Amino acid sequence: MKLKIVVPIVVALIAIILGVSVFQGVLNSPTPETQHLYSVNVAFPNVQFRDPVGIYTAGDQNNRLFVVEQAGLIKVFENNESVNAAAVFLNISDRVTSGGELGLLGLAFPRQFNESGFFYVYYTTDNPLRSVVSRFSVSQTDKNQADVNSEKVLLQVEQPAPNHNGGQISFGPDGYLYIGLGDGGGAGDPPGNGQNRSTLLGKILRVDVTSAAGSLNYSIPRDNPFVGNNQGFREEIYAYGLRNPWRFNFDSMTGRLWVGDVGQDRMEEIDIVKSGGNYGWNIMEGSLCYSPPSGCNQTGLSLPIWEYNHSLGYSVTGGFVYRGAAFPDLVSAYVYGDYGSGRIWALRYDGMNTTNSELAATGVHITSFGLDQKGELYICAYDGYIYRLQHSTA
């Protein structure tokens, strides 16, 4: 996510989560002619969260939702509109460094969650400042309580700056864990981390968390694109050239990996990421040359399938390809939004051509999208509420 706005301080701080500068100014409002077919309403009016950055389901056939709070808590509650409380599932605020773009940023449940009781988190901590991916276990006596002492650290990556941390983790259809890391911060990626395959920064990683190898608490899939290289490239890398991937997810039908990558000053982009792909940063910002300004060599780069400029928003929040039943007109569309402008769009892609339509102007700061067990869509907003789409009555 890339939070960037010139209104309340709390929003300016969030501008850091998504990795943009705060001098962008107020965005243009939708024109009066814009006709939105959708709006949003509060899904659980009696439950509010503190700085929520993600909403998830465990996929275990229990009708629960999990909300990640940036300071280091995960809350759990029944997926029922009348619910009036959320229990603390996990509290690791004692080891999480939060604020701005730092904090507890990701949560992932494997398909075997029912059997193993394992789940995975991504958070930032300090001394030194670093990103951590860890495994925890659910309590053996209470399915709504995790064992806070069960942490097994799988991966740690030192961070040179407190912004552009990425933070998404997700299990792919292949059962491997995918991890999104930003470029390490600093306007324009001065060290060139996005293009440097000897660092994990500015990458999407792919690891096997079911086994360990050597000194690692995970193993590297044999078909990762840089396995066996002799150039010093990190073999965990699945794709590179990313600035700050803020939310990515797999289409449950096609297996495509959709990524929202937060831009610098001009473009926000949507990528379909493939093994070994180079998505351009910091040579490109979207389809525009970034470095050097006199021109850029695009050979071998995978440019976004969609992008938008900062008249429409300034911090993309990646979403999901919708496969639910409530909105037949959205089936197979990638639904995503923008943190800064609060807009939500539906993007359709047939492998060659894209069409994009604006669904709603929500007026809220969208930090994440989530799906429940039935594949219905929820929207996590920084005001503390969880929203859902509805057909507009206007």
* Amino acid (one-letter) located at 54: G
- Among the listed residues 131, 166, 159, the one whose alpha carbon sits nearest the alpha carbon of residue 1: 166
d(CA 117, CA 104): 20
What does residue 194 show for φ and ψ, rounded to 5 degrees? Answer: -55, -35
237-240 β-sheet, strand order: 169-171, 177-181, 203-207, 237-240
40: CATH: 2.120.10.30
Q: What is the pLDDT of residue 393?
A: 74
pLDDT at 22 over 90: no
Q: Is residue 55 included in any domain, yes or no?
A: yes
Summarize pLDDT for 108-166 with one digit per residue, the tens: 999 999 999 999 999 999 999 999 999 999 999 999 999 999 999 999 999 999 999 99
Q: Is residue 2 included in any domain, yes or no?
A: no
Q: Is residue 143 included in any domain, yes or no?
A: yes
Mean pLDDT of the chain: 91
pLDDT at 7 over 90: no
Domain that holds residue 290: 9-391
Q: Is residue 169 included in any domain, yes or no?
A: yes
Summarize pLDDT for 194-230 with one digit per residue, the tens: 999 999 999 999 999 999 999 999 999 999 999 999 9
Q: What total number of domains does the chain contain?
A: 1
What does residue 9 show for φ and ψ, rounded to 5 degrees? Answer: -60, -40
Q: Is residue 3 included in any domain, yes or no?
A: no
37-72: burial string, b at 16+ Cβ within 10 Å, e else: bbbbebbbeebebebbbbbbbbebeeebbbbbbbbb
pTM over 0.75: yes
Q: Is residue 306 included in any domain, yes or no?
A: yes
Q: What is the pLDDT of residue 293?
A: 63
Summarize pLDDT for 276-326 with one digit per residue, the tens: 999 999 999 999 999 776 678 999 999 999 999 999 999 999 999 999 999
Contact 205, 238 (CB under 8 A): yes
pLDDT at 14 over 50: no
For the ranges 14-18, 21-25, 83-87, 209-213, the lowest mean pLDDT is seen at 21-25
Q: What is the pLDDT of residue 1?
A: 54
Q: What is the pLDDT of residue 61?
A: 85
Average pLDDT over residues 242-257: 98
Q: What is the pLDDT of residue 278?
A: 98
Q: What is the pLDDT of residue 11?
A: 41
pLDDT at 19 over 50: no
Rounding to the nearest 10 degrees, give the CA dihedral for residues 228, 229, 230, 231. Answer: -150
